[in-house]
Amino acid sequence: MAHSVIIPRRTFFYPVGNTSADLLTESLPREENLDLLLIGCGDPRSILYTVYADGAIGKRELDITFCDVEPAVIARDVLLFTLLADTNKESNAAIWDIFYHFNMSGSSLALLQDQASKLLSLSESMIQWTAGPYSKLIRPRTDHTLSDIRRFWFKYAATASFTTAQHSSMRQSVSEGVDAMLSRQGDSDISTACRSAGPLWMKISDGIASAHIKHYWTHGVVADSPTDSASIEFVNPTFFYTGLGSGFCVHYGTDPILGFHLAGVLAPIKGNPTRVSIGDLGNYAKQEFVRWSDAFRRRIASDVTFVVRPYVGDALSFCHALAGESGQCVSTWDARPVILDLENDKRVAAPTTFNVIDTSNVADHIGLINVLIACIPLLHPSPSSVLHTNTLLSSAGKTGDAFRLDHLGVDLTTFSMLLGIAPLPLMTKFTTKTSPFDMFASADADGAESPQYHQSITWKFPASGDQAALVGDEVVRLPIAVDEAKLCEVLSKLYIHMFSVEDATQLSPGSLWKSTDIIYVRASFAILLKFLKNRLSTDWDRAMAMLFDRIENDRSLCNGTGMRHHHDLCTHAHLLGVYTQDFLSPTYTDPYPTPPVLFANWRRKPSVAYIVMQIPRALFENLERMDAERVGTPALQCEVTVGKINLQNTFCSVQLAFGELVVDGTADRAIATIVEDEDGWNGKSPLVLWLPISTWLLDYDPGTTCVRLSIRPSTGPMLSLMSALGKDLVIFATDLQGQDIYVVEDRPRVRGTLSPSALSPSASRAKASPSAGLLARQNAPHISFTDERVSHITIKVDMQNKKSKQALKDGGAATGQISPCTVELVTGKGTRLQDLVRFPFPIDGKDIKLRVARKSGYVEVVARVASANPAIAEGGYSHIRRTPVVVSRGIPCAWSMNYVNLDKLPGIDLPQSKSKLEWIQPFGPTILSDRELRFQRSNDWSDTFVNLKNSIAHMMGYAIGDIDGHSRRAFSLYRQIGNGGYTFIFVNAIRIDLVAHSVLMDVCILPLTQDVMPRLSPLLQQIQAAQQHIRDIVTPDEEIKAWKSLLPAAVERCRSWSHRSDCAYLTHDIPLTLDVAESPICNCGRGKDIPDSEVMRLYSKAVPLVTRAAIGPLYAVPYLEPVGTLLKQTMRRGGDGGLETCAACGMPQEKLMSCGRCKTTKYCSQACQRVHWKKHKTTCNAVKI
């Protein structure tokens, strides 16, 4: 395994989610089917919400593969799906109780028991399941998955025959768990639910969120549920049984309302309470669940494909198995091989690649690098494909800096270039998602250890947003050429960072306990190297020789004891075909040869063999008797010490299983077989452990070689563990020739299982594009470095034939950037030849250099990599390219914005008093970075993207009545120079983007073009009759281009209609034009699905001409530049801390500018003063005089 093996003593059960549900199709245009991989899935809230909220749910096929290492989670998920399939809305309340309450009524328990019994009768084998009523919807990926979840259904059903004493025992266990949780929390304020409230989090931050979780843990049900003795008489068995056995180990932060969108009940919407109670929160969560459940039933009744594919096991091993790698085990404590079900029915065949991969927050537990390299090979190379990672990091007052500094160890651009995938905001310099609660909680931390910080990152192929860079509607994935010395520098830096927890000099007192959570092992780095070997073009053997030499000579990790892991690293590198150290080579000659002992009777001595040990179960009793809190989650390691030369080696990638070990045969004919014990930790069987190791090390001096299983040293609970295990933390020790240890050539087998067979790999070595065009061939891009960061990309283009070579000789070459990742190469004179050079990453084309070899017939194009600094607007996805729409397979895709179904988002009732809308901050602290705030407040209009953000914020401010006290719904984008409007924007509603934790404007747009002007007369008459002026939003010329680029994406992200077959997007660039007098959008959506809103009723003549769109804030990216410094200063002063606030935008500031007339009203910038003047002039004392 590529992550640490922990002893699961303090392992919590997560029966329900702790973040609000996501829209799993948010990256896909409505015509594209969903092939989803969901790892670390937890409960199915996002699946249910997607079925409810997806704008194309009646037409989109859904194929969802979901994985969790906890079998009880998958058993509960499948149970829920089948309950919903078998019942109608009358059963929603009981199903809620079954899935979300840990105490329940007798009637709900009976429904659960009956359903479990039914599932048992249909799941004795995969053949029986496939022939059963649920197989159309639910298709387990492996036999072991069905077998594992079936054991839990058996336990649920068995409670039907429980005695009164057994039920009492369950209640006692739950009572003890509840008491421990309530004691742990005490009087502290538990504000986790605030995160699920999105932009309205402050409305429940006054103790309501905390009161609800305490109510839940006191009664076992959400608020607004009956709490009489009959309603909570029984313990819910689905909360009681886990992979570790029976007992109540639900995580202390569990609260069912966390999985729902609480903003829906907190917003000023008709029917919502003025002041929210905990009962309102619980009732709203149940109402949302009912809507999801009803939508789920309607969806499975349709003929459009909808299939879910559960899998039980470790996320990394599952991903590697999906990529075609054999030899994967179910988990670190389960030795069964992963044998995927290869379906013959092509209509329901499981996908081998996915256009959406969601990894929940497993990166927190198994490492971000591990997650990325396991998932990237499974990601389909299309423009809409995304990989989502989520972390709940402790921000320590650093906002988003933790992402860059603590998880990668190298420059983010360099890391992205090597992996071939990048965070979307790295390229676009904005995000449509925010986390307001986490931002404020972090700002309030005052430099101390702050609460969790939820950070959601969307990763994409960097060139997939460039239409010109696509070939055959997909991303061209070329190998990347790199100098081996530079590669060695970067990888050695990454290696040191991955294992920096071993560097005692870097440990601060505040980080000591954290170091117990050691994630990476040497196999992690070896697998990363294997990934890069398939991705890069270099002198690989030389690069690895340099790297391993540097690692071997490094003494920074634990004062040199990092060398104890060197054999572990070398063994895995050899097995993976990455690099073979001399002592693992078949031709290796030992400089100090010894007579063969251990392998004397072997026909052939392999380079690597397997140590297999059987460890008595009783040796774990000391640990099991200790309080789980004192034990924590220590990691295991295996130590191999050659006493004769005092050579100590540590191996952390070990495989374990409970059961009996049987070894048949001797020497190289020996075969180890495990009779695995299904009861695992709850059984009495010994523990079997094995690991690969070099035979050179084993045969050096077997008589003095000792093998020990021990706790991996760290600093957290070491004193407690030493009291049970001794100072060396040894659980088991034996010499190499002892009775309980064996050396075999092949890894052990598990009795009763088949040998795994590999799928065809879904993604192998990156393949070169056959050519850049008909006349030239593009070689692998070569990256070069400045200060250990990728700075330039060079692409050599070979002329393919006599014509192109002659053109190069006659006229040389010229070039120019035409799109974020693409350069046009022109050769010859007179009749000029053109070709496209496609770069794998956004570039800055302003200083492209050419190296022309006329005689040899090639050109080298050298381009600077686009800067990650948002302050540098040129190059890449620049300010007018940040919201591209690309066409793949004839379908436009809004590449950098999340898709929304406007009709499923709650709309705010307007007008409202200003006090009810204080939670909307048009110039909020997360929209503008610190740098952008300085631009805004200094009246500097040079940053086009800041201007665009300001215009959107002002439009929203006017729409809610925050700027002049009137809710305005009609706007005109107005050219600053030239005095003319070029686009009408009608605001239908202000809606809450529940998934993005943001707000957006549901609008209809009308570009004022030559073809519509003759048809505007009736509309202009309505505008005059309405006696409501259309508010002008003044835009400089460069901002006009940004709006022209934004509008197609704003339309696409909420499109509910289909493009026509003659759509202009199929034959033209998108946007269609940047000309102020022309329309950037196609005409396909005119007049379609226009809402019956107040503004459109007022301007009904515009309905046939307008197109619906979604426009919202574009947020700054905290891991690219500082965001929220002013907010931190304000929060740490305690509120505004006496700071005055801007009269227009409400933001506190140390220095404000006074109105030039009255000298009283104050503003943070001339922009705010200008937009506020119409309202202020009615009260300005100077004007009245």
pLDDT tens-digit map of 891-915: 999 999 999 999 999 999 988 888 8
Reported in sequence order, the residue ranges of 1080-1155 that DSSP labels E, i.e. its strands, are 1107-1111, 1140-1141, 1148-1149, 1153-1154
Extract the tokens encoding 210: 């905390």
Task: Identify which of 488, 524, 519 has the alpha carbon closest to the alpha carbon of residue 374.
Answer: 524
Return the ∠ at Cα 51 (arms to 50 and 55), rounded to 5°. 75
pLDDT at 947 over 80: yes
Q: Name the most confidently modeled range: 144-158, 551-565, 1143-1157.
A: 144-158
Q: Name the most confidently modeled range: 288-292, 764-768, 962-966.
A: 288-292
DSSP state of 27: T
| 586 vs 708: which has the higher pLDDT | 708
Extract the tokens encoding 1065: 């997007």
The whole-chain average pLDDT of the chain stands at 88
The least confident of 271-275, 796-800, 869-873 is 869-873
Q: What is the pLDDT of residue 915?
A: 80
Q: How far is CA 521 from the centre of its chain?
A: 22
Q: How many H helices and E strands in the chain?
A: 34, 46
pLDDT band of 406, cuts 50, 70, 90: very low
User: Given CA atoms 292, 297, 298, 300 in this order, what sign does their dihedral have?
Assistant: positive
Average pLDDT score over residue span 632-645: 86
Q: What is the pLDDT of residue 513?
A: 38
Q: What is the pLDDT of residue 764?
A: 41
* Cβ within 8 Å of residue 701, ≥6 positions away: 594, 642, 643, 644, 645
Task: Identify which of 865, 610, 864 has the alpha carbon closest to the alpha carbon of residue 748.
Answer: 610
SS3 state of residue 731: strand
Domains and CATH numbers, the chain: 34-380 (no CATH), 480-584 (no CATH), 608-750 (no CATH), 776-878 (2.60.40.790), 891-1111 (no CATH), 1136-1184 (no CATH)
pLDDT band of 526, cuts 50, 70, 90: very high
Q: DSSP string covering 405-418, please?
A: HHHTSS-HHHHHHH
d(C-alpha 198, C-alpha 456), whole Å = 14
Average pLDDT score over residue span 256-268: 97
d(C-alpha 151, C-alpha 147), whole Å = 7
Q: What is the pLDDT of residue 228?
A: 95
Is the Cβ–Cβ distance between 649 and 697 less than 8 Å?
yes
In percent, how much of the chain has pLDDT > 70? Answer: 89
Q: What is the pLDDT of residue 1100?
A: 93
User: Given CA atoms 1032, 1038, 1041, 1043 in this order, what sign does their dihedral have?
Assistant: negative
In percent, how much of the chain has pLDDT > 90? Answer: 65
Q: Name the most confidently modeled range: 276-290, 552-566, 813-827, 1009-1023.
A: 276-290
pLDDT band of 480, cuts 50, 70, 90: very high
Average pLDDT score over residue span 748-764: 62
SS3 state of residue 94: helix
pTM: 0.93
Q: What is the pLDDT of residue 630?
A: 74
Task: Identify which of 675, 691, 685, 684 has the alpha carbon closest to the alpha carbon of residue 750.
Answer: 675
What residue has token string 């020497």? 667
Q: What is the pLDDT of residue 444?
A: 60
Extract the tokens encoding 952: 């959107």
